[in-house]
Amino acid sequence: MIETNIAGEKVTKKSIAEHFSISTSTLSNRHKQMETVLEEDIQEVNTALEQLEATESV
């Protein structure tokens, strides 16, 4: 069983899929699609966070 911590609560992919009335495979596919679409934005945020952390440690 795969668990994820969301807002301090441990939830499973199965429980999320059931909540939205979709299959776990659909949930996984949509998650992969979102990662692909948002990949560049995620990298920009990660880079900005790394720069912020570097300036705070000086």
Return per-residue pLDDT of the chain as tens, 58 residues. Answer: 566 777 777 888 899 999 999 999 999 999 999 999 999 999 999 999 999 999 987 6
What pTM value is reported for the model? Answer: 0.59
- Residue-level pLDDT at 30: 94
Residues 6+ apart with CB under 8 A from 14: 1, 24
Rounded CA separation 4/21 (Å): 19
- Residue-level pLDDT at 9: 78
